[in-house]
Amino acid sequence: MGDYPNLSEKMVMGDEVLELHGLSLPQVLSIVTALAEPMNNLYKLAVTGQLEANAASVAMNLGDDFALFAGLVIGHSTGNIERALWFGNKMPMGYQIEALDMIARLTVANAGGPEKLMEIVSKAAQNLSRLQS
């Protein structure tokens, strides 16, 4: 997102080590577009203060769409989008939550802080809402 460094962290999952990166704006937009309705609902909860800022809360509020969300986010973060179905449907939920928390932290850091990230996400959500109208 912008000219910020793309920070990364390693997550150990059994014998596998995943290198997780923060998401870029095109990646965020791709995820928001793929999950337009559930993401719009999350956005409404977030702006009204009804959504806790953690992966477990997002998971609970996404319900049936969580596997797709987790798969897309982790797939984009690792650069292995072709494994999105595995990340979403086969990866144990504990690892999914850990990965999503790490990716969220990295994305915020890459964007230049939470305020800048919220500005970017808000603009994306507003544009998405206009497209759906």
- For the chain (length 133 residues), average pLDDT per consecutive 10? 69 95 87 84 84 82 90 96 96 94 89 74 68 61
**What's the confidence (pLDDT) of residue 79?**
95
Q: Please say whether the beta carbons of 4 and 24 come within 8 A.
A: no
**What's the confidence (pLDDT) of residue 34?**
87
**What's the confidence (pLDDT) of residue 1?**
41
pTM for the structure as a whole: 0.80
**What's the confidence (pLDDT) of residue 131?**
63
Average pLDDT of the chain is 85
pLDDT in tens, 6-39: 789 999 999 999 999 999 888 888 888 888 888 8
**What's the confidence (pLDDT) of residue 51?**
83
**What's the confidence (pLDDT) of residue 47?**
80
**What's the confidence (pLDDT) of residue 66?**
92
